[in-house]
A and B are shown apart, each in its own frame.
Chain A
Amino acid sequence: MPQAEGLPTKGHVPGEPGVWVLILGDLMVFSTFFVMFAYYRGLDPATFAAGRQLLDVRLGLVNTLVLLTSSLLVAMAVHRVRAERPGAPALLLGAMGCGLLFGAIKALEYSAKIQAGIGFGSSTFFMLYFAFTAIHLLHVLLGVGVLAFMRGVAARPGAAQRMVAIESGATFWHLVDLLWIVLFALIYLVG
């Protein structure tokens, strides 16, 4: 995630401290999931390898790029708000578009799986795949709402005085992006 220029480097916590309760809590739960995934994979590597073969790595990769792009747009928007330059609302709208595109691609992926007769109960691999990509998708949708809120703040005059709100939202969105990158690597690539 690019660091905006002019960011105070000493003792600066991005956003308000409280938002880190949510972020660290989420990181804890997802970390548990990552450990659990590795544990179940160790019990039955063959099923996990077979499951991974059935995933569409291209769609996963496209979604990774979509989220990375959205994170870049958000970082640029934060930078513009801080520098009191115009264009932040449009950048955030672009990031929201990326979020929705991610959801659409995920829906496509799920429906292809279900049409192929693969469901939650197919194997431990698919149970973990469906459960955690869905929980992540819930985060993406919540994040699109957060981006809409940030856009509202950024569109009003004096947005640079509300950096805490902008940064808190951006931090959450970067978390959503980060979690996907780990999920993608773990489920689609390592599986």
Chain B
Amino acid sequence: MTIRAQRIMIWWTLAFMLIFGLSYYFLIGLLPLPPATWTPEQVAAFYTENATRVRLGAMILSWASAFPVPIAVVIAVQMARLEKGVPILAILQLCGGLMMSIFLVLPPIFWGIAAFNPSRPPEITTAIHEIANLILVTTDQYFIFQNVAIAWLCLGRVQDAKSPFPRWIGYLTIWAALMFELGAIAFLPKTGPFAWNGLFVFWFPFVIFGTWISVMSWSLLAALTRQEADAAS
């Protein structure tokens, strides 16, 4: 029964992640983020022209943007299975996973607020726009706890054949954690590869996050199948 629930939660995350991607691309329309050098007038014009679309996107993402939560719970349950005594790594991972979802929740809200009343002075709309974009790309605070906990378990704890945490996933997770740290650099430049729309700040974390969560989901689903077969026999 619990295996079925875990499977549903993984697909819940994946489905909501897809909704996030589609709404972000087609409705919010800021994928990739526009140049950080846009003038307040350009920013205000964007939100004026696309007000309805952006607000509709914000509405849908009010339902779907916390998508990392279910998978963080499944990862925690699977980690706790392998830990002896108090599952401290599972708890750290869950805290990190839950908290980092907040930074996926906030940008759509601020985009929606920017589009809510775009006839306000352009400077104010620009400030809201900047809050949204910088929250999206610079927030590495909690990733690191989730990733270190997972890597620690992959590399430091005894695994069994039913574990979804092979050692190479530990190394993949360390690499992903290192790459996410680049996002914070977006506070410094407005152009180039470290600007908020740059290769190292926007595209790498975006692609690596997608890859990491897909690999993790695949490994969890495969492990659940093994656990199910084991429980049946």
Contact = CB atoms under 8 A, between A and B. Distances in A.
Interface of A: 16-22, 25-26, 29, 32-33, 36, 40, 120-121, 124, 127-128, 131, 135, 138-139
A46 B185 CA distance: 25
Contact of B172 (A16, A21, A40, A120): A21
Contacts of A18: 166-171
Contacts of B192: 40, 124, 127
Contact of B175 (A26, A32, A128, A138): A26
17 contacts: A18-B166, A18-B167, A21-B171, A21-B175, A22-B174, A25-B175, A36-B193, A120-B188, A120-B189, A121-B188, A121-B189, A127-B188, A127-B189, A131-B193, A135-B182, A138-B181, A139-B178
Contacts of B199: 32, 36
A138 B192 CA distance: 22
Interface of B: 166-172, 174-175, 178-179, 181-182, 185, 188-189, 192-194, 199-200, 204
A29 B185 CA distance: 16
A25 B176 CA distance: 9
A25 B188 contact: no
Contacts of B170: 18
A135 B180 CA distance: 12
A33 to B, nearest CB: 8
Contacts of A120: 188-189
Contacts of B168: 17-18, 21
Given A17-B168, A29-B204, A36-B199, A131 B175 contact: no
